[in-house]
């Protein structure tokens, strides 16, 4: 699911193959609804597990797959029946994607609401009652939009965005700017979208989408970390992105100039923070080794040297690599 992992698995056989792998499996796992009312349980017949296979999908290969799905068994599950039932299921996904994509046009006027989706369904030529079958209706629309933006971003990165000449912080700023600019047409209704995403039922999906977005940006910047650093980097970038997004809501400046300045400041802050943390880590490591060596009762000549070396270093209140002169002093 994540580009870094996929690339490593494929042995770096071209970024192209990595993206092909990512696009066609589902971008998100299906959400199985839990019984949130007593005595209710849902099952579905005919299978809802696959997205359409192959690259012959339309311009928009992502599927808003939030519909209820658990087992994909029909009671009389013969082979041909199962294949047939898979095709219609894919058709519903396509139809849903079509309706949601048409509804986006009505969002600036009607908001992220059922009305926008019903207007969208009328545009496509489908009865508005299909909207009643979308799970978590408004959330479906918002999540579809987020997926679309992520896909657009990935396309832009693949089609040769000039990132090599920029330092990492500038690259990140550029990518976040590109992504946030996609939201500009919907800015008047974006607070509503944020509140929909913050709703307890929808938090899980929106969190996952943001995690994917952040991972995508780091991957494009050229990050190869895989340990604890990976989480820290993504968390910080997630924070930068969210704060900029919220700042943008109240920004009236021309072409959102203030927002981009804010973004640059935040990215700079993040990188400065990283440097500060690195410095603290080095210092601590040294003082620990000093502690340990000072507590040993038996120490050899080498230890003695080391202890004196540390003493001189600390006395100087400096933590520099050029403590070599002190060493020479001791040894001579």
DSSP tag of 313: H
Q: Binding residue for another protein (CB under 8 A) from 49, 110, 270, 313?
A: 110
List of residues 6+ apart from 308 with CB closer than 8 A: 330
Supply the minimum distance, in Å, between the C-beta of residue 138 and another protein.
Answer: 12
Supply the minimum distance, in Å, between the C-beta of residue 97 and another protein.
Answer: 13
Closer residue to another protein, CB minimum distance, 81 or 285: 81
List of residues 6+ apart from 302 with CB closer than 8 A: none
Q: Which residues of 271-299 are buried (b: 16+ CB within 10 A; e: fewer)?
A: eeeeeeeeeeeeeeeeeeebeeeeeeeee
Supply the minimum distance, in Å, between the C-beta of residue 213 and another protein.
Answer: 29
Q: Binding residue for another protein (CB under 8 A) from 113, 197, 205, 206?
A: 113
Q: Which residues of 160-197 are buried (b: 16+ CB within 10 A; e: fewer)?
A: eeebeeeeebebbbbbbebbbebbeebeebbebbbebb
d(CA 50, CA 63): 10
Count of residues binding another protein (CB under 8 A)? 37
Supply the minimum distance, in Å, between the C-beta of residue 114 and another protein.
Answer: 7
Supply the minimum distance, in Å, between the C-beta of residue 143 and another protein.
Answer: 18
Closer residue to another protein, CB minimum distance, 134 or 218: 134
Residue 1 and residue 22 in contact, taking contact as beta carbons nearer than 8 Å: yes
Q: CB neighbours (10 Å) of residue 58?
A: 10
Supply the minimum distance, in Å, between the C-beta of residue 113 and another protein.
Answer: 7
Supply the minimum distance, in Å, between the C-beta of residue 52 and another protein.
Answer: 14
Closer residue to another protein, CB minimum distance, 45 or 277: 45
Residue 85 touching another protein (CB under 8 A): yes
Q: CB neighbours (10 Å) of residue 150?
A: 19
Closer residue to another protein, CB minimum distance, 92 or 262: 92
Residue 210 and residue 239 in contact, taking contact as beta carbons nearer than 8 Å: no
Closer residue to another protein, CB minimum distance, 113 or 206: 113
Q: What part of residues 256-315 is at the interface with another protein (CB under 8 A)?
A: none
Q: Binding residue for another protein (CB under 8 A) from 127, 242, 276, 329?
A: 127
Residue 181 touching another protein (CB under 8 A): no
- Which of these ranges, 8-16, 124-132, 189-197, 299-307, lies near another protein under the rule CB under 8 A? 124-132
Residue 68 touching another protein (CB under 8 A): yes
Residue 128 touching another protein (CB under 8 A): yes
Q: Binding residue for another protein (CB under 8 A) from 21, 126, 163, 270?
A: 126
d(CA 325, CA 31): 64
d(CA 204, CA 136): 13
DSSP tag of 292: H
Residue 67 touching another protein (CB under 8 A): yes
Q: Binding residue for another protein (CB under 8 A) from 54, 55, 83, 129?
A: 129
Q: CA separation (Å) from 19 to 81, 86, 167, 207, 216?
A: 33, 25, 24, 22, 11
**Chain positions contacting another protein, by CB under 8 A:** 39-46, 48, 67-68, 73-76, 85, 88-89, 91-92, 95, 110, 113-115, 118, 121, 125-133, 137
């Amino acid at each position: 699911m994540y580009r870094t992992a996929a690339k490593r698995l494929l042995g770096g056989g071209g970024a192209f193959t990595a993206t092909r792998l990512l696009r066609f499996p589902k971008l998100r796992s299906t959400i199985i609804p839990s019984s949130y009312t007593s005595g209710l349980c849902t099952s579905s017949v005919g299978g809802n597990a696959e997205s359409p296979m192959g690259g012959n999908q339309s311009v928009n290969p992502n599927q808003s797959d939030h519909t209820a799905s658990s087992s994909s068994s029909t009671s009389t599950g013969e082979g041909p029946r199962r294949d047939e039932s898979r095709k219609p299921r894919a058709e519903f996904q396509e139809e849903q994607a079509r309706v949601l994509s048409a509804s986006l046009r009505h969002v600036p006027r009607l908001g992220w609401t059922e009305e926008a989706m019903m207007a969208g369904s009328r545009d496509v030529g489908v009865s508005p009652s299909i909207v009643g079958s979308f799970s978590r209706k408004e959330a479906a629309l918002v999540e579809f939009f987020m997926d679309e933006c992520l896909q657009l971003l990935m396309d832009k990165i693949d089609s040769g965005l000039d990132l090599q000449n920029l330092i990492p912080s500038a690259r990140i700023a550029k990518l976040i700017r590109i992504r946030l600019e996609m939201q500009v047409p919907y800015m008047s209704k974006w607070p509503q979208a944020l509140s929909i995403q913050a709703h307890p039922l929808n938090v899980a999906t929106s969190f996952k989408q943001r995690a994917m977005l952040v991972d995508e940006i780091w991957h494009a910047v050229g990050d190869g970390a895989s340990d604890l650093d990976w989480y820290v980097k993504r968390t910080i970038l997630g924070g930068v992105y969210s704060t900029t997004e919220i700042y943008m809501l109240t920004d009236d400046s021309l072409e959102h100039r203030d927002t981009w300045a804010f973004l640059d400041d935040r990215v700079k802050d993040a990188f400065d923070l990283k440097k500060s943390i690195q410095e603290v880590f080095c210092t601590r490591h040294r003082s620990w080794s000093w502690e340990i060596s000072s507590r040993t009762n038996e120490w050899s000549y080498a230890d003695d040297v080391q202890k004196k070396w540390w003493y001189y270093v600390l006395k100087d209140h400096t933590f520099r690599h050029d403590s070599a002169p002190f060493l020479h002093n001791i040894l001579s």
